[in-house]
Structure 1
Amino acid sequence: MGNLTLKSVAKSFGTVDVLKGIDLEVKDGEFVIFVGPSGCGKSTLLRTIAGLEDISSGEIVIDGREVSAVPPAKRGIAMVFQSYALYPHLTVKDNMGLGLKQAGTPKDEIETRVANASSLLSLEPYLQRRPAELSGGQRQRVAIGRAIVREPTLFLFDEPLSNLDAALRVQTRLEIARLHRRLKATMIYVTHDQVEAMTLADKIVVLNAGRIEQVGSPMELYNRPANLFVAGFIGSPQMNFIDAERLGESGYKTLGIRPEHLALSRESGTWSGKVVHVEHLGADTIVYIESDTIGLLTVRLFGEHAYAPDDVVFASPTGEMTHRFGVDGNVIR
């Protein structure tokens, strides 16, 4: 089992309130990702679940047991950090089994658990190597293996891929996704990278200034953001926001349209404008348009398109994929 319940969890450092009453349910086997801007409290929240930070108030319940006062080693969790934190003088095998050895686990059981984890992570060829003889991706797999051998109730990941280059991030992301499917374990993962969040998570928790803005599946957040913050945070390039007054409309404050939900034409359309910049990305073309009517618009087009600065174009919403937000920033359904 790997159920987690947070009840009004708050954390303050002196007079600074970092977490402001977090309520959250994580079901057994879920892959939950915390995202949000720097300083939103996502890593602090993860550390309170792990027991590395004491909470100021509230409750942390793991599998029905209140653990707020329980030390980290007795919470049934294993944590993978941004830094690999491997012992340089130990082999891969010994690094993975060290925690079990220190806990007094029988040698035969350590051998079995390390062998199983090595097989899951394709680490068998590297068991006798030391960390200096491994690539960054291999070291991170060893750190993950060290967590697996503990057979925890919860796996906690604190930005585990941020030290890897782009290609290794993609590879390791796929390995973590496969690992979750094989283990069927509960995983809670912190990242600033929304691509990681959108591609890995069963459920995303969007945090802002110590509060939860919205919880939902990746596509729920993408298609039905609860407010301006979530709408602007999820999706790349960012959603376009247009003041309703510039559209001559009332009943709401802001219209939101994602760049991929706009079409471009050289002949006619809803809003005219001039191209100010184009990003040719091969698979996509990102076109930035300055409109006298509604301001700057970002348009994302599939494939390669021959637009250039100073071209006069027309942008139009496609279908019904628009979002209306009130004065308070919340979506109007």
Structure 2
Amino acid sequence: MGSLQLQSIRKAFGTHEVLKGIDLEVADGEFVIFVGPSGCGKSTLLRVIAGLEDATSGSVRIDGAEVVNTPPAKRGIAMVFQSYALYPHLTVKDNMGLGLKQAGTDKAEIETRVAKASAMLSLDPYLARRPAELSGGQRQRVAIGRAIVREPKLFLFDEPLSNLDAALRVQTRLEIAGLHRRLKATMIYVTHDQVEAMTLADKIVVLNAGAVEQVGSPMELYNRPANIFVAGFIGSPQMNFIPAERLGDSSAKTIGIRPEHIALSRDSGEWKGKVIHVEHLGADTIVYLETEQTGLLTVRLFGEHAYAPDDIVFATPDRAHLHRFDASDRAIVTER
């Protein structure tokens, strides 16, 4: 079991309040990801759950038991950090089993758990090596293995892929996803990378300035953002925002449309504009254009398209995918 309940979690450093009353429920076995811009409080919240930071006020319950005054080692959690934090003089095997050894676990049990985690993470060929003899991806797998052998109630990941190059990030992301499916464990993961969030999470928690903006599945946040902040943070390229008055809509302040929900034509369409820049990405073509009605507009087209700067084009939004926001930047919910 590894459920988590946070109630009214506040954290202040002096007069600066970093967490402003966080409420959250995480079910046993869920993969939950905290996302948000730098300084939003996501890593601080993870450290409060781990017990590495004391909450100024509020309740942290793991499997229903209050742990806000319980030291980290007794909370039943294991944490994987952005830095691998491996002991350079120890082998992979000894690094993975060190926590159990310090806890007084039987030697045979340590051997069994390390062997199981090593097989799960394909680390068997490296057990006798030291961290300096490993790649960054291998070292991160050792750090994850060290967490697995503890058989915790909660796995906590603090931006574990940030130090890896692009190819290794994809590979390690797949390994973490497979690990979650095999272990069926509760995982809480912090990242600033929305691609990681969208591809790994059962549930995403979007944080901004110490408060929760929205909680939901990846596609709930993509299709039904609660406000402009979430709409702009989830999705790449970012959603286009257009003052509603420029489109003749007096019932909203802002109209949003994602770049992938706009069609382009050289002949006719709703908004006439001029191309100012094109990004040819192979699988996608990103076109930036200026139109009189919308101002700067980003359009994402599937595949390769031969648009170039100064081309005159016509953009047409898919009106089934328009998002409307009120004067408080909250989504105006309409039946679709």
**TM-score range, shorter-chain basis?**
over 0.9
Moved more, 289-298 or 104-113: 289-298
* TM-score normalised by structure 2 residue count: 0.99
**Aligned residue in 2 for 1:230:** 230
**Aligned residue in 2 for 1:167:** 167
Moved more, 291-300 or 28-37: 291-300
Structure 2 residue runs without a partner (length 5+): none
The residue identity in structure 1 corresponding to 2:325 is F
Q: Deviations over 1:44-99 (max 9, x none)?
A: 00000000000000100000100000000000000000000000000000000000
**What is the rounded CA distance, in whole Å, between the counterparts of 1:249 and 1:100 in structure 2?**
63
Helix, strand or coil for the counterpart of 1:320? helix
**Aligned residue in 2 for 1:209:** 209
Q: CA deviation at 1:158?
A: 0.1
Q: CA deviation at 1:161?
A: 0.2
**Aligned residue in 2 for 1:145:** 145
**What is the rounded CA distance, in whole Å, between the counterparts of 2:174 and 2:319 in structure 1?**
33
Q: After the TM superposition, which residues 55-204 of structure 1 pair with which residues of structure 2 at under 5 Å, given as runs?
A: 55-204=55-204
**Aligned residue in 2 for 1:31:** 31
**What is the rounded CA distance, in whole Å, between the counterparts of 2:231 and 2:81 in structure 1?**
29
Q: CA deviation at 1:284?
A: 0.2
Q: CA deviation at 1:319?
A: 4.7
**What is the rounded CA distance, in whole Å, between the counterparts of 1:99 and 1:309 in structure 2?**
59
**What is the rounded CA distance, in whole Å, between the counterparts of 2:294 and 2:79 in structure 1?**
47
Helix, strand or coil for the counterpart of 2:301? strand
Q: CA deviation at 1:245?
A: 1.1
**Aligned residue in 2 for 1:307:** 307
**What is the rounded CA distance, in whole Å, between the counterparts of 1:319 and 1:225 in structure 2?**
16
**Number of corresponding residues:** 333
Q: Deviations over 1:276-312 (max 9, x none)?
A: 0000000000000111222000000000000000001
Q: CA deviation at 1:248?
A: 1.8
User: Over aligned residue pairs, what C-alpha RMSD do you find?
Assistant: 0.5
Helix, strand or coil for the counterpart of 1:155? strand
**What is the rounded CA distance, in whole Å, between the counterparts of 1:58 and 1:196 in structure 2?**
29
**What is the rounded CA distance, in whole Å, between the counterparts of 2:294 and 2:25 in structure 1?**
41
**What is the rounded CA distance, in whole Å, between the counterparts of 1:102 and 1:226 in structure 2?**
47
**What is the rounded CA distance, in whole Å, between the counterparts of 2:220 and 2:292 in structure 1?**
33
**What is the rounded CA distance, in whole Å, between the counterparts of 2:12 and 2:178 in structure 1?**
37
Q: After the TM superposition, which residues 262-277 of structure 1 pair with which residues of structure 2 at under 5 Å, given as runs?
A: 262-277=262-277
* TM-score normalised by structure 1 residue count: 1.00
**What is the rounded CA distance, in whole Å, between the counterparts of 1:319 and 1:48 in structure 2?**
43
Q: Where does structure 1 differ by over 2 angstroms across 4 or more consecutive aligned residues?
A: none
The residue identity in structure 2 corresponding to 1:327 is A
**What is the rounded CA distance, in whole Å, between the counterparts of 2:94 and 2:174 in structure 1?**
26
**Aligned residue in 2 for 1:287:** 287
The residue identity in structure 2 corresponding to 1:48 is V
**What is the rounded CA distance, in whole Å, between the counterparts of 2:248 and 2:203 in structure 1?**
38
**What is the rounded CA distance, in whole Å, between the counterparts of 1:248 and 1:25 in structure 2?**
41
**What is the rounded CA distance, in whole Å, between the counterparts of 1:317 and 1:29 in structure 2?**
39
Helix, strand or coil for the counterpart of 2:116? helix
Q: CA deviation at 1:270?
A: 0.8
The residue identity in structure 2 corresponding to 1:87 is Y
**What is the rounded CA distance, in whole Å, between the counterparts of 2:137 and 2:48 in structure 1?**
27
Helix, strand or coil for the counterpart of 2:212? strand
Q: Deviations over 1:175-227 (max 9, x none)?
A: 00000000000000000000000000000000000000000000000000000
Helix, strand or coil for the counterpart of 2:320? coil
Q: Deviations over 1:157-181 (max 9, x none)?
A: 0000000000000000000000000
**Aligned residue in 1 for 2:46:** 46
